[in-house]
Amino acid sequence: MEEKYVDSVKEINIEDICSNSNFGELNFKSIIDLLKLMVSEIVELENLDYKSNLTQSEVNQIDSARSNLKNYIDQIKNFSISQPNASSVRDGIINNLKSYYENSFASQTRQPLLYLRDKVRLNTKNSETEYRKLAGELQKLVTEVKSEKEKLKIDQDSIRQERGIVSSQYLSEFFNKESDGAKVESNNQKKLFNKLIFGLGLLVIIIFIIYLLFVRQFTDNSLKIEYGVISATLIAVMFFYTRVILREYNITKHIQVSNKHRANVASTLEGLLSQTNQDPELKSSMVKEASVAIFQSDSTGYLTKDQIEISTPVKEVVNTVMTQK
């Protein structure tokens, strides 16, 4: 920005120029305040980078005001009490400066200055809004970090005391997450199943109507047979796909209910273990019971017992634990 305003008036000392001791009684102290005001407005326009933020006509007006201001300052600098009619010359400079300020300078600078101030104020307001938003997010992040730190401290204490709360706590969170995911998926499958049921019913109705209106009138029995085969095939395909979706829905609901049950068991185990850290035998017994409750395949009403009975490594471990109880 300094390269744009190399001839800035901000370095000019109005006080020294107007109070030059060589002027004697013919000094310019009466216009010090006015000159300072004019200089301050030009300097503020420079600081607001008016050349980059105003129209060319506005820039030209301000450049003209800057040039005229410097011209008046130069006249004061070059003034000498030894020149002819020094008093009249001095009064002429003062009167011309006042007239120029009132009739030209103010109109050339005030409006652009107000516009640039409003622009800066708006940008500052937006920056403050962004800052507040960022500060809010930062505060939220700090709160989350503190919360995680507290959880880590609890986990460390749990590990030192050998209570096993870490595992049960994370198991509870994991199973809850899996249950929520299964719930969303089962809702989508239920919507699809309902659409298929509606479509299957509509297909049967359409096939029956076509038969009554057209096919029944055919004299060729082979055409009737072909229509019957095609209709039966369509209904069978639709029915089969509907059963597949229903099966997937039941499996997903079974997973949802099972994982919710497991999350509840793990959450309950966490609270119970915190009260049994002084009794290792009781703690061991509770962990075994919870393991069986978590991983044993129980009926949820969505799958039959035969459908649930699938051997897995986890189930083998559970069966081993149950036989050792």
pLDDT at residue number 159: 46
- Residues 16-34 have pLDDT tens digits of 999 988 888 889 999 999 9
pLDDT at residue number 202: 94
- Mean pLDDT (the chain) is 81
User: Which pTM was predicted?
Assistant: 0.46
User: Which residue from 58, 62, 32 is spatially nearest to 46, judged by alpha carbons?
Assistant: 62
Q: Residue 286: what residue type?
A: M
pLDDT at 292 exceeding the cut of 80:
no
pLDDT at 293 exceeding the cut of 80:
no
pLDDT at residue number 317: 53
- Residues 160-198 have pLDDT tens digits of 444 444 566 777 788 888 889 989 999 999 999 999 999
The HSE-up count of residue 62 (CA atoms within 13 Å, CB side) is: 27
Confidence of residue 237 (pLDDT cuts 50, 70, 90): very high
User: Which residue from 252, 270, 267, 271 is spatially nearest to 178, judged by alpha carbons?
Assistant: 252
> Which position has the higher pLDDT, 138 or 1?
138
pLDDT at residue number 75: 92
User: Which residue from 1, 89, 86, 100 is spatially nearest to 45, judged by alpha carbons?
Assistant: 1
- Residues 85-109 have pLDDT tens digits of 999 999 999 999 999 999 989 888 8
pLDDT at 223 exceeding the cut of 90:
no
Worst-scoring range by mean pLDDT, 131-135, 157-161, 210-214?
Answer: 157-161
pLDDT at residue number 315: 53
Cα gap 43→32, rounded to integer Å? 16
pLDDT at residue number 199: 93
Worst-scoring range by mean pLDDT, 39-43, 51-55, 163-167, 302-306?
Answer: 163-167
Confidence of residue 3 (pLDDT cuts 50, 70, 90): low
Q: Residue 239: what residue type?
A: F
Question: What are residue 71's phi and psi, to 5 degrees?
Answer: -65, -45
Unique residue bearing structure tokens 């649930």? 308
Tokens of 125: 């307001």
pLDDT at 157 exceeding the cut of 80:
no
Mean pLDDT for 241-261 is 89
Percent above pLDDT 90 for the chain: 28
pLDDT at residue number 190: 93
User: Which residue from 90, 92, 94 is spatially nearest to 79, judged by alpha carbons?
Assistant: 90
Cα gap 252→106, rounded to integer Å? 78
Helices 56-78 and 32-47: crossing angle in degrees, nearest 10, is 140
pLDDT at 310 exceeding the cut of 60:
no
pLDDT at residue number 173: 81
pLDDT at 279 exceeding the cut of 80:
no
> Which position has the higher pLDDT, 144 or 193?
193
pLDDT at 1 exceeding the cut of 90:
no
| H helix runs in the chain, sequence order | 14-18, 32-47, 50-53, 56-78, 86-100, 106-161, 165-213, 221-273, 280-295, 305-308, 313-323
Cα gap 221→10, rounded to integer Å? 107
Distances (CA, A) of 22 to 76, 77, 80, 89, 128: 12, 11, 8, 15, 52
Highest mean pLDDT of the ranges 49-63, 155-169, 271-285, 305-319? 49-63
